[in-house]
Amino acid sequence: MHILLGLLTIAMVYAMTRQWYGLVPARWAAALMAFNEYYLNVSSRATAHVPTLLFVTAAVYAFSRFLATERPRYLYLAGASVGLAFYCKESTALLLPVFALTLLVSKHRHWLLKPQIYLACVIYALVISPDIAWNLRANPGTTVTYNDRAVGQATYATHLRRIGGLGLSPYPSMFYLRPTVKAVALNLTGSELKDETQEYWSVNVALGVLLLGAVLATTVRRASPDHLRLFLLVMFWAIFGFFTLIKRGATTGRLDPVSWMWVETTIVPAVVLTGARLVDVSVKWRLPAWSAVTAALVWACMRLLLVE
């Protein structure tokens, strides 16, 4: 089931990129999604990460279809998909303000005055209503067994304590530049940056530089943005920025106080935008650029094969 869900996520990334940017960008976006260390690693584990990325990608794909067609049914599908993603990870609720901000800054802002937008929010609320009901009844003091140890039940309040207030966190950058960020932190502070999720792989530095560079290049690009480009930029910077601007919180039990994996959903806009930028490379530099990206993807696969 995990393999099938992982493949479906890649297929949606491919389909969305092809509809907006063409065949070659779609192939690059799918390859970047499929063959980076992070996705290769988490897709081999029976955890919440693959279902999270599946439902987030489904929500992004549905909203992209709404931006292209303005058919309300895609809003409803996006709302339901975010609701299902919420069951995997509560942080996916950030997609709702991302959708709203995208409409606000785009030519679709008039939809904010229409009832269909709020009906989609109602659908989202209905999907997560059993979880809300459970949280209202749950007692955090009640202990449950997790990994052969007794821990308190994790409620919404428990998760919110992972936010320690406003601050500057290096952890989101570790998703793309993990060794570099750890080395810089060690040089600046003299102490090693604690990695709460070191059992997982991040993307290699070459792919991290490529993905972040493509997002930055797209952000400062002077060309008039298409609807998908604007949406993906809002999604990337809103989620990445949110977790960058909060301090490490305090938690008890099994929850990590902070993790670079909290920004894993930003990989969806990153690979789509990177696929689009790779075809913009001039003919003179296309072969060396594409060869370097291919080498980074092959290296990602070889690293996991050699280690695992």
pLDDT, average across residues 187-196: 86
pLDDT in the model for residue 253: 65
The reported pTM is: 0.93
- Render the burial of 67-94: b for 16+ CB within 10 Å, e for the rest: beeeebebbbbbbbbbbbbbbbbbbbeb
pLDDT, average across residues 65-69: 96
Strands (E), the chain: 143-146, 149-152, 163-166, 246-248
The torsion angles phi and psi of 224, rounded to 5 degrees, stand at: -60, 125
Residue 250 has pLDDT above 80, yes or no: no
Rounded distance between C-alpha atoms, residue 176 and residue 172, angstroms: 8
Higher pLDDT, 152 or 113: 113
Which of these, 185, 183, 205, 179, lies nearest to 248 by C-alpha position? Answer: 185
Rounded distance between C-alpha atoms, residue 273 and residue 61, angstroms: 14
Strands 149-152 and 143-146: antiparallel
pLDDT in the model for residue 55: 97
Higher pLDDT, 148 or 40: 40
Strands (E), 208-281: 246-248
Strands 143-146 and 246-248: unpaired
Residue 147's pLDDT band (cuts 50, 70, 90): low
Residue 248's pLDDT band (cuts 50, 70, 90): confident
Rounded distance between C-alpha atoms, residue 122 and residue 136, angstroms: 19
Q: What is the mean pLDDT of the chain?
A: 91
Tens digits of residue pLDDT in 286-306? 999 999 999 999 999 998 888
Query: Which amino acid is it at 190?
Result: G
User: How many C-beta neighbours within 10 Å does residue 66 have?
Assistant: 24
